[in-house]
């Protein structure tokens, strides 16, 4: 019996009471998942709900009267030892020891799927993140969304959503001509043109292109510009892909902006927006009236010279996502993109969508790393590949995941490299490694995991109750982290599980201590049951770390 089970049972009880005429409420007044949480004091039981406070007045009764109808029905549930009404109507629930301990077996048997839920089932999501220009290496500014975007995609999939992760390649426009001109200059030992790309990586790209075709250096610049532009872009994009791969981030779709323009999708998008009735012409330009939907000003789609704006590409891209069947479109944008929020939402509405349902824009704040050096290759940035080499994938991903996206982060590299309990990722990974070590020791001593020797009722030590309660909350935490797009909720809960495990490990023996004369003592039922609890903790920590894209080590 876990909080999810109790929540489902509570919803069922309420619907039955409404149908029976005991409670005067419309069926849709009952929350899909009534809230069940830990009481502030464990003396008040294992779980509590304020549903009577929430619905009592609406049902025409006091919360306590409402609770008096619900409490006996909760009491009748298998695994519930006691139900009490506290104060004006809080319902406190105490489970019997066997019901609480049974969770250990449930987790082990569920394996990799424990924590998965169906709250987002049927939701078809396009999740776009990183989307850095292919004119330079990924840097510290892209790192946060690489970690968070990937974690959010994992959480959504664990919650039943169908998710497509997408990288929008900005391969259309003058920046690629400038990039090609910079590569050409480096080929000829010249300074890059004004506004060009000065990093050492441009030298490396120039050298790679020359190695493939030495004759390109002596050809006419205008003649080879298309070839140079394409090859420089391909090499830089390959570098971005490899860096993301090293960071354990993989995209389902790499979407080309250039293809939007070359396929006529931009022109088609303009006609479709015109048909929606939110466009107008002024001073020779073609506009989208985004102020109809809360934008601070209307946006130009086609300039007076007939050239499309960047926003026209945004419009075509949004409609492409819509045409590909993505009901929910999530954009993860950097800290310098606050101005895009209202215009993208308005674009969604102008395209005939519900801007409160079909589009979601998250903004990530800046991060800084104390003592990080500027890249030798890029010169003026801190590259993601350097951060990976310096801090490691696990430490970097976990530290980025454990803070809300809208809060600035300053990373302490000394802390992340320290093998101490002050280092959060070490603390959680060490709990997993310790549990695996405990399992190996138990195997060697014959305390193996056998169903017939598991007795949930033996798990009664206070540290076992605390550990079981933390494990029980894991599915709800996964669900809320997915729903709110907040992986930090999961990271912080893993730390709470690790703390509960370390406390339990310090006082509860899986393998019985030898007798005073050194002879081996045969295991008791509690020892076998503790083995199940140990392995359940292993599974939950591994599942949680996996959802954050962090490894669960066997040894440390």
What is the arithmetic mean of pLDDT over 341-367? 94
What is the arithmetic mean of pLDDT over 37-60? 87
Please report how the helices 3-19 and 474-484 are oriented relative to each other, as an axis angle in degrees rounded to 10. Answer: 80
Selection from 71, 68, 64 nearest residue 47 by Cα: 71
User: With 0-12 CB in 10 A as exposed, 13-18 as middle and 19+ as buried, what is 405?
Assistant: buried
Kind of pairing, strands 47-49 and 90-95? antiparallel
pLDDT at 4 over 90: no
- 101 with 62: CB under 8 angstroms? no
More confident residue, 45 or 511: 511
**Angstrom distance (rounded) from CA 491 to CA 259:** 39
Please provide the average confidence, as pLDDT, over all residues in the chain. Answer: 92
- For the chain, where do the domains classified as CATH 3.30.1360.70 start and end? 3-95
Per residue in 281-329, pLDDT tens?
999 999 999 999 999 999 999 999 999 999 999 999 999 999 999 999 9
Selection from 331, 334, 287 nearest residue 312 by Cα: 287
Longest distance between any two alpha carbons in the chain, whole Å: 98
Per residue in 54-109, pLDDT tens?
999 999 999 999 999 999 999 998 888 899 999 889 999 988 777 778 999 999 99
CATH code for the part of the protein at 129-260+365-413: 3.40.50.620
How confident is the model at residue 237, as a pLDDT? 97
How confident is the model at residue 260, as a pLDDT? 93
State the CB neighbour count (10 A cutoff) for residue 191.
Answer: 10
Q: pTM higher than 0.75 for the full model?
A: yes
Provide the phi-psi class of 126: left if phi over 0, else alpha when psi is between -120 and 50, else beta: beta
**Which positions ≥6 away from 482 have C-beta within 8 Å?**
119, 120, 152, 155, 156, 158, 159, 161
- 531 with 449: CB under 8 angstroms? yes
pLDDT at 243 over 80: yes
**Angstrom distance (rounded) from CA 118 to CA 479:** 9
**Angstrom distance (rounded) from CA 165 to CA 464:** 39
How confident is the model at residue 334, as a pLDDT? 84
What is the arithmetic mean of pLDDT over 445-467? 92
Class of domain 3-95 (CATH, top level): alpha beta
Selection from 6, 104, 105 nearest residue 46 by Cα: 6
3-state secondary structure of 255: strand
How confident is the model at residue 373, as a pLDDT? 67
**Which positions ≥6 away from 534 have C-beta within 8 Å?**
435, 438, 439, 442, 510
State the CB neighbour count (10 A cutoff) for residue 29.
Answer: 14
Which CATH code, of 3.60.40.10, 1.20.1440.230, 1.10.730.10, 3.40.50.880, is assigned to 424-547? Answer: 1.10.730.10
The number of angstroms, rounded, from the C-alpha of 280 to the middle of its chain's C-alpha atoms is: 40
Reported as type and span, the H/E element at residue 233 is: helix 221-246
What is the arithmetic mean of pLDDT over 331-340? 86
- For the chain, where do the domains classified as CATH 1.10.730.10 start and end? 424-547
Of the pLDDT bands very low, low, confident and very high (cuts 50, 70, 90), residue 377 is low
Where in 370-435 does DSSP place strands (E)?
A: 409-411
How confident is the model at residue 254, as a pLDDT? 97
Q: Which two tokens stand for residue 349?
A: 């509405």
**Angstrom distance (rounded) from CA 84 to CA 91:** 6
**Angstrom distance (rounded) from CA 157 to CA 123:** 10
- For the chain, where do the domains classified as CATH 3.40.50.620 start and end? 129-260+365-413
- 381 with 369: CB under 8 angstroms? no
What is the percent of the chain where pLDDT is above 70?
98
Of the pLDDT bands very low, low, confident and very high (cuts 50, 70, 90), residue 405 is confident
**Angstrom distance (rounded) from CA 301 to CA 315:** 9
- 494 with 545: CB under 8 angstroms? yes
The dihedral through the CA atoms of 5, 8, 11, 13 has a sign that is negative
**Angstrom distance (rounded) from CA 472 to CA 115:** 9
pLDDT at 378 over 80: no
**Which positions ≥6 away from 37 have C-beta within 8 Å?**
3, 47, 48, 49
**Angstrom distance (rounded) from CA 416 to CA 280:** 54
**Angstrom distance (rounded) from CA 346 to CA 353:** 9
Bridge partners (DSSP) listed for residue 302? 286, 308
């Amino acid at each position: 019996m876990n909080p999810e089970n109790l929540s489902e049972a509570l919803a069922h009880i309420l619907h039955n009471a409404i149908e029976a005429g005991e409670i005067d409420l419309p069926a849709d007044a009952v929350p899909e998942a009534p809230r069940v949480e830990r009481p502030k004091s464990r003396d008040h039981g294992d779980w509590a709900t304020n549903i009577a406070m929430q619905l009592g007045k609406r049902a025409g009764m006091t919360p306590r009267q409402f609770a008096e109808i619900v409490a006996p029905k909760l009491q009748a549930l298998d695994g519930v030892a006691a139900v009490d009404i506290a104060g004006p109507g809080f319902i406190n629930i105490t489970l019997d020891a066997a019901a609480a301990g049974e969770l250990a077996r449930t987790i082990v048997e569920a394996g990799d799927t424990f924590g998965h839920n169906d709250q987002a089932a049927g939701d078809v999501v396009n999740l776009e993140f990183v989307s850095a220009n292919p004119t330079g290496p990924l840097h510290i500014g892209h790192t946060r969304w690489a970690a968070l975007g990937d974690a959010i995609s994992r959480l959504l999939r664990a919650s039943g959503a169908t998710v497509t992760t997408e990288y929008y390649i900005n391969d259309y426009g003058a920046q690629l001509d400038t990039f090609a001109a910079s590569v050409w200059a480096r080929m000829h030992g010249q300074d890059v043109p004004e506004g060009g790309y000065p990093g050492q990586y441009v030298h490396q790209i120039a050298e790679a292109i020359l190695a493939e075709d030495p004759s390109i250096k002596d050809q006419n610049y205008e003649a080879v510009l298309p070839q140079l532009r394409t090859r420089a872009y391909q090499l830089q994009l390959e570098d971005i892909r490899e860096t993301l791969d090293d960071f354990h981030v993989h995209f389902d779709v790499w979407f080309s902006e250039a293809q939007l323009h070359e396929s006529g999708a931009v022109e088609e998008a303009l006609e479709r927006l015109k048909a929606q009735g939110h466009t107008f012409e002024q001073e020779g330009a073609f506009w989208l009236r985004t102020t109809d939907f809360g934008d601070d000003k209307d946006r130009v789609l086609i300039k007076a010279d007939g050239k499309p704006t960047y926003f026209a590409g945004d419009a075509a891209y949004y409609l492409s996502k819509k045409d590909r069947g993505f009901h929910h479109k999530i954009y993860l944008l950097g800290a310098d993109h606050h101005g895009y929020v209202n215009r993208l939402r308005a674009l969604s509405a102008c395209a005939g969508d519900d801007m409160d349902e079909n589009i979601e824009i998250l903004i990530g704040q800046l991060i800084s790393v104390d003592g990080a050096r500027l890249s030798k290759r890029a010169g003026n940035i801190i590259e993601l590949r350097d951060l990976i080499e310096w801090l490691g994938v696990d430490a970097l991903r976990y530290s980025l995941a454990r803070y809300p996206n809208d809060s600035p982060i300053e990373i302490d590299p000394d802390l992340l490299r320290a093998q101490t309990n002050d280092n959060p990722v070490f603390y959680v990974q060490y709990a997993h490694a310790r549990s695996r070590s405990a399992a190996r020791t138990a195997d060697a001593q014959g305390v193996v995991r056998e169903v017939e020797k598991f007795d949930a009722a033996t798990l009664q030590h206070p540290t076992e109750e605390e550990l079981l309660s933390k494990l029980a909350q894991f599915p709800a935490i996964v669900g809320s982290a997915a729903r709110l797009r907040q992986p930090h909720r999961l990271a912080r809960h893993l730390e709470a599980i690790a703390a509960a495990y370390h406390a339990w490990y310090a006082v509860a023996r899986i393998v019985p201590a030898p007798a005073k004369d050194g002879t081996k003592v045969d295991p008791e039922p509690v020892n076998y049951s503790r083995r199940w609890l140990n392995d359940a903790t292993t599974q939950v920590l591994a599942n949680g770390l996996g959802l954050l894209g962090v490894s669960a080590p066997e040894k440390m």
